[in-house]
Chain A
Amino acid sequence: GQNIDQPTEMTATEGAIVQINCTYQTSGFNGLFWYQQHAGEAPTFLSYNVLDGLEEKGRFSSFLSRSKGYSYLLLKELQMKDSASYLCAVMDSNYQLIWGAGTKLIIKP
């Protein structure tokens, strides 16, 4: 079956750096997405990776290794507003999105 694994919860300190990992096993691969979801709100798009390597977008970066079935989201200079859930989703060979359960990130002052 298809599977996306992410840690359930992580805690980090304001101003620090945190890395949220995502491993996947899917039928084919057509790209990996990261979304941010604040409590009680809709998911919003953060990043997309289809080739191996690092994509940087301001304080957020996303890395992909297709051979390892692995991605991570790196958040730098953490702010209190970064407290949210981070969802990893993989597009399979049928262009269907398979979603992880999300990682709840708690930022402490």
Chain B
Amino acid sequence: DIQMTQSPSSLSASVGDRVTITCRASQSIANWLAWFQQKPGKAPKLLVSKASTLESGVPSRFSGTASGTDFTLTISGLQPDDFATYYCQQYSNYPYSFGQGTKLDIK
């Protein structure tokens, strides 16, 4: 099974900051990686697919990059609406697997 190691598990930042969340796959997943945003009591929302493709309607301050088995989600210029929990997920091999999540809160 592919393990997704996400870091940090929590992050405090201020409006306007630039933050980066990292996800490492335990083996090659090509670029079959998605990023989700989840707010309390809500379903996850797809932000990025194929490691770096921004979904329609997602603000351009979000971006995803890939380097081998390392993936990053960067938010440039945090907005109040961005404080949430973020998950990476590989959809290369079954069983699909998620990172442990990164809770982003206001400093």
The answer to whether A and B belong to the same complex is: no
User: Chain A: residues with CB nearer than 8 A to chain B?
Assistant: none
User: Chain B: residues with CB nearer than 8 A to chain A?
Assistant: none
